Amino acid sequence: MTQTNDNAPMGRIIVITSGKGGVGKTTSAAAISAGLAKQGYKTVVIDFDVGLRNLDMIMGCERRVVFDFINVIQGDAKLKQALIKDKRLENLAVLPTSQTRDKDALTREGVEAVLNELKQDYDYIVCDSPAGIERGAHLAMYFADEAVVVTNPEVSSVRDSDRVLGLLSSKTKRAETEGAEPIKAQVLLTRHDQGRIDKGEMMTVEDVLEILAVPLLGIIPESQAVLRASNTGTPVTLDDPSAAGRAYEDAVARLTGEDVEMRVASDRRPGLLQRMFGRTA
Amino acid sequence: MSLFGFSLKPRRPKSAQTAKDRLQILLAHERGAGTATPDYLPALQRDIIEAIRRHVKIEPDDIDIRMERGEEVSSLEINIEVPDASPRARA
């Protein structure tokens, strides 16, 4: 069903981070990794939130977890055994984390070894960071080539994103290695509500970008599709078409270097008459 | 609600129900077996490898464990790649 992509990078590491919790990191990690796999890239998505495993639920593979990231780091299982192959896309895999250990089980050497092994086989390695700026979040971003900073147009989220951007440019391998190109950081604006912006109740995209001063990867509209997809364990990009799904697909295309015009998608609900007389596109 | 075979509900199953079902199954496993649910698996794997090694030469890489948790039962699928055991025993 999926073919491999020819201009694939060799194991590019993308961290999905934010500082603040609840802004949509895991939703975005799932949607972006599924979107990359759909484009034909071999993709693996890793849960770094040790002790609070959730990526498995959002990806819909929670019943198939046998071994996890921590088992692999501690040598209790081989990487191949811990990777869960997605049942919908053959070139997508999930590396779940442990639900029972704590974040101290993550070591920098262990994480690096796993990432290096994954680089042999995968085009993209998507790291789903936990909230906060402690060990799990630090190690999720440490080896990244690229960062997606998930931000809501809301004061605490923007402030935390700013803090995370600071860490990306100082406390990562690329930052510490002399002569290395810095991590390419981009903002992904989620829960965007054009209606509230029009009423002056929400900061605009321009407002947020002016404050954070990094490029924009995409604008994900507030959408009912996101909760529905999480209910069923389906990444938004693999679920029924929705504004959020389209927006994630645009973001994925930009990540892979395509030049896609920035647009604000919306789920326009069909009116009563439209529903009665059949939907028109 | 169904009246004369005419359903007022949309045909698609409600995703909220799916969410609840998934959580119930998952949490039953996570709470039931204590916090250490899958932690016996590495040990189990070691024991299996050891037992098989007494008879056949296999590498840790040759064993593949998959699990599928269900509401009633969970299944553990263990695949072992046994090297071609040519019947050299006769010699």
Q: Measure Cα distances from A110 to A24, A71, A105, B11, B80 in Å.
A: 27, 10, 9, 48, 27
| ipTM at complex level | 0.78
* pLDDT score, position B85: 55
Measured distance CA(A69)–CA(A47) in Å, rounded: 8
> Hey, which residues does B62 pair with through a beta bridge?
none
Beta strands in chain A (DSSP E): 12-17, 43-47, 84-85, 92-95, 124-128, 146-151, 184-192, 216-221
List chain B residues with CB under 8 Å of A57: 22, 26
Q: Dihedrals φ, ψ of A16, to 5°?
A: -105, 110
Residue A141 · residue A150 · CB < 8 Å: no
pLDDT of B17 higher than 50: yes
Q: Which residue of B29, B37, B39 to mutate against A (max A Cβ within 10 Å)?
A: B39
* Token output for B71: 């509401």
According to DSSP, the β-strands at A124-128 and A12-17 are parallel
Residue A235 · residue A128 · CB < 8 Å: no
User: Is the Cβ of B16 closer than 8 Å to some Cβ of chain A?
Assistant: yes
Identify the CA nearest to A93 among candidates A57, A63, A122. A122
- For residue A1, what pLDDT band results from cuts at 50, 70 and 90? very low
The per-residue pLDDT for range A134-193, each reduced to its tens digit, is 999 999 999 999 999 999 999 999 999 999 999 999 999 999 999 999 999 999 999 999
Q: What is the chain A residue with the closest CA to B61?
A: A78
Q: How many CA atoms lie within 13 A of B30 on its CB side?
A: 16
Q: What is the distance of C-alpha B83 from the center of its chain?
A: 24
B45-58 burial string, b = 16+ CB within 10 Å, else e? beeeeeeeeeeeeb
A–B CB contacts, 8 A cutoff, strictly below: 61
For A17, residues 6+ apart whose C-beta sits below 8 A from its C-beta are A25, A129, A137, A140, A141, A147, A148, A149, A150, A164, A168
The per-residue pLDDT for range A193-207, each reduced to its tens digit, is 999 999 999 999 999
User: Is the Cβ of A62 closer than 8 Å to some Cβ of chain B?
Assistant: yes
The per-residue pLDDT for range A241-281, each reduced to its tens digit, is 999 999 999 999 999 999 999 988 777 665 666 566 654 44
Average pLDDT, chain A: 92
The owner of tokens 């923007």 is A158
pLDDT of B35 higher than 60: no
Residue A218 · residue A251 · CB < 8 Å: yes
* pLDDT score, position B7: 58
Identify the CA nearest to A27 among candidates A207, A205, A261, A188. A188
The owner of tokens 């759909």 is A38
Name the 3-class secondary structure at A203: coil
Cβ distance of A228 and B41 shorter than 8 Å = no
Measured distance CA(B80)–CA(B66) in Å, rounded: 11
User: Is the Cβ of B65 closer than 8 Å to some Cβ of chain A?
Assistant: yes
Whether this model's pTM surpasses 0.90: no
Average pLDDT over every residue of A211-220: 96
Q: What is the distance of C-alpha A163 from the center of its chain?
A: 19
A67, A99, A232: residue with CB nearest B41: A67
Residue B35 · residue A100 · CB < 8 Å: yes
The owner of tokens 């509401």 is B71
List chain B residues with CB under 8 Å of A227: 15
Cβ distance of A100 and B35 shorter than 8 Å = yes
Cβ distance of A67 and B26 shorter than 8 Å = no
* pLDDT score, position B41: 76
Cβ atoms within 10 Å of A107's Cβ, excluding its own: 14
